[in-house]
Structure 1
Amino acid sequence: MRIGQLAQLAAVSPKAIRRYEALGLVTPARHPNGYREYDDESVRLVREIRALNRLGIAVEETRPFLECLSSGGEFVDDCPASLAEYRRAIADLTDQIATLTERRDELVRRLRDAAHRNTAAPTVTSTPNLSTLPSDMPEPQDDGAAAHLPGLRMPELTMSDSARARIDLATLGGRRTVLYLYPLTGRPDTDLPDGWDALPGARGCTAEACGFRDHHTDLIAAGADNVFGLSSQSSDYQSEVVNRLRLPFTMLSDPELRLANALSLPTFEVDGTRLYTRLTLIIRNNAIEHVFYPAFPPNQHAEQVLSWLKENPL
């Protein structure tokens, strides 16, 4: 067969085959007129070179494998020299992985330092794209999905918070607890889901958290014994948010949405992930006393809760 046919059968370019020949890895027969003639063995050799190269073994380093075949081996790695080359290639890749991991970790560190550089001071809540809400943000409508909640008992569910404490939702005490549920909090170094701003009620978790932070003392003075945020994000993720935004309260992590399932809470799905719909529960004597749904706009929601607490003193 000619080089073009070999290239097609082995799924490589004629240029690559000529390189293999120059290295002495493939040796075709020569006709008197100078044309190269390849056989089925050439097809196998070229395929083996290509397969080994795709695993990270340089073309020049495939010689021990090909010599294993020429010496009678059924497979390219039947010989000790082939195994030695495997070990060398594995060691080389291990070194590359270590180097790349160090580079990645350094880039992550620099990204977080740069993203958080202007968020450490209490007067600065977050980067503008997270704390500033667009003027045309779509307003969620009350679809009645929370109408059944007032009066329900809180289920016996224990959750981890961002400080690694275990919080039992059924034993929050006789005074009021403000439990605000939110979809997810963005971070400066993490992209939000595509189309997030266009989803009614999705945008604004950072602004909402900062509102509860700034009014935390007033909420306690107005009768709230506890304030918690709750989402399906991990405790590690929430801990970063609590530290970065300097929140005076902790966040509860419910990755399996157990509270949503127990109380039939409204949720929505984005990018294949089920998230909490934003709402706030006022809990007293382990029962739901009042519900804010929909909670909008999120950057003013803490003030709405504070006003309700003042208008409905214990």
Structure 2
Amino acid sequence: MQISELAHRANTTVKAVRYYERLGLITPERLPNGYRDYGEAHLRAVREIRDLTGIGIPARATAPFVECLDLGHQHGDDCVSSLASYRDSIREVDRLIELLHDRRARLVSRLNDSAERGFIQEDTMSDYTSIPDDLPVPTDDGAASPLPGMRMPPITLTASDGRSVDLTDLGAGRTILYLYPLTGRPGVDLPEGWDAIPGARGCTTEACDFRDHHDDLQAAGAARVWGLSSQSIDYQAEVVDRLRLPFAMLSDAGFRLADALLLPTFAAPGHPRLYSRLTLVIRDGVIEHAFYPIFPPNEHAQQVLEWLVRHPLDSD
């Protein structure tokens, strides 16, 4: 088979197959006319490499698995050398987790120092930069099921940077629009029982996750990222400044988008109506995909990034 057929059947790209060849993982036959010729064994190898890279094993480290298949085993990890590769990868992940944990602790410390500067410190102030381990997980009530394929309504909202944003004309490419209830603020208590409401807690951590992965999202095909809630434009501007967000926030205090698309909302003490957490992928004015429910919020930008990587624009 030709390289294009191999890539299609393996659910990967021609570029990836050529990269595997350069690494020496697969070696195609050559036809008399000089064209590469791939067989079923190459297909098995490429699928194995694709699956392994999908769980974080670099392509260059998949050689033991490919060799195991070449020896006639049914699975690439039937060989002892493959198990050793698993262990090496796990050790590397553990090392990275330790480094990231230390980095996060230092970032949180600096963020708290910055965010609380100028505010009166309260003994009972909530830590908005992390989420409790026992938060209730929201369930899918089907509220977002009708959204894919719907056109964005003709609504213009004000952004935190003062711009007027027409939701029907967001520009070329994909737009990530993430909706959330409200962000916490130093010195201001969250609504009573906030942590007990499934899907409520975590707006600040979600915003920070989109901030930290903003460049990655753009590299994966997101032309722009917007946050949206029913909080006032002044509140949104303060959040953007305090969290050092590289994107603007939209204010929809009248729930115009919720009413137009029948989006899910909920109530909390002191707040008769709030947006439920939901993210839209919008392309050419049409909702391409909806993330709902969202959990955990502090990893949601990474979930969006993974979706973008699996659904590149040039594959449509």
Residue number in structure 1 paired with 2:309: 310
* 1:273 maps onto 2:269 in alignment: no
Aligned to 1:159: 157
Distance 1:194 1:266 in 2: 21
State the alpha-carbon separation in 2 of the partners of residues 140 and 217 from structure 1.
29
User: Cα RMSD (Å) of the superposition?
Assistant: 1.7
Q: Give the percent of matched residue pairs that are identical in Structure 1 and Structure 2.
A: 62
Shift of 1:211: 0.1
Unaligned runs of 5+ residues in structure 1 are: 1-114, 122-126
Q: How does 1:16-95 map to 2 (within 5 A)?
A: none
Letter in 1 for 2:113: R
> Are 2:126 and 2:189, in contact at CA under 8 Å, matched by a contact in 1?
no
Q: How far does residue 132 in structure 1 lie from its aligned partner after superposition?
A: 1.0
In the other structure, the counterpart of 1:298 is 297
Output the CA distance in 2 between the equivalents of 1:173 and 1:249. 15
Q: Which residue pairs with 1:35 in the alignment?
A: none
Tell whether the 8 Å contact from 1:177 to 1:226 is kept in structure 2 after alignment.
yes
Structure 2: which amino acid aligns with 1:312? H
TM-score if structure 2 supplies the norm length? Answer: 0.60
Determine the C-alpha separation between the residues in 2 that align with 1:227 and 1:179.
Answer: 6
The reply to whether residue 178 of structure 1 matches residue 137 of structure 2 is no
User: Residues of 2 paired with 1:228 and 1:258: CA distance?
Assistant: 16
Q: Shift of the alpha carbon at 1:312?
A: 0.2
SS of structure 2 residue aligned to 1:131: coil
The alpha carbon displacement at 1:174 in A equals 3.1
- How many angstroms does 1:212 deviate by? 0.1
- How far apart, CA to CA, are the structure 1 residues paired with 2:112 and 2:177? 27
Counterpart Cα distance in 1 of 2:161 and 2:146: 32
* Distance in 1 separating the partners of 2:305 and 2:115: 26
In structure 2, distance between residues paired with 1:120 and 1:190: 11
Gaps of 5+ in 2: 1-110, 118-124
Answer yes or no: is 1:241 the counterpart of 2:251. Answer: no
Aligned to 1:149: 147
CA contact (8 A) 2:115 2:186 kept: no
Q: What's 1:63 paired with?
A: none
Q: Deviations over 1:277-300 (max 9, x none)?
A: 001000001000000000110000
**1:260 matched to which residue of 2?**
258
User: C-alpha distance in 2, partners of 1:116/1:159?
Assistant: 30
The one-character-per-residue Cα deviations of 1:156-205 (angstroms, maximum 9, x if unpaired) are 10000111110000001230000000000010121100000000000000
Q: Which amino acid aligns with 1:313?
A: P
Q: Secondary structure at the match of 1:129?
A: coil
When the two structures are aligned, how many residues end up with a matched partner?
195
Tell me, yes or no, if the aligned pair for 1:137 and 1:198 is still in contact at 8 Å.
yes
The answer to whether the Cα contact below 8 Å between 1:283 and 1:290 also exists between their aligned partners in 2 is yes
Task: State how far apart, in whole Å, the 2-side matches of 1:190 and 1:166 are.
Answer: 29
Give the whole-Å Cα distance in 2 for the aligned partners of 1:308 and 1:116: 31
Between the aligned partners of 1:225 and 1:253, the Cα distance in structure 2 is 20
Equivalent positions of 1:189-208 (< 5 A) are: 189-208=187-206
Moved over 6 A (4+): none
CA–CA separation in structure 2 for the residues paired with 1:174 and 1:235: 25
Q: Which amino acid aligns with 2:127?
A: N
Which letter maps to 2:201? Answer: R
Out of 106, 112, 129, the position equivalent to 1:131 is 129
**Matched position secondary structure for 2:279:** strand
Distance in 2 of aligned mates of 1:251 and 1:118: 20
SS in 1 for 2:128: helix
Q: Provide the residue aligned with 2:287 in structure 1.
A: 288
Q: Which amino acid aligns with 1:153?
A: R
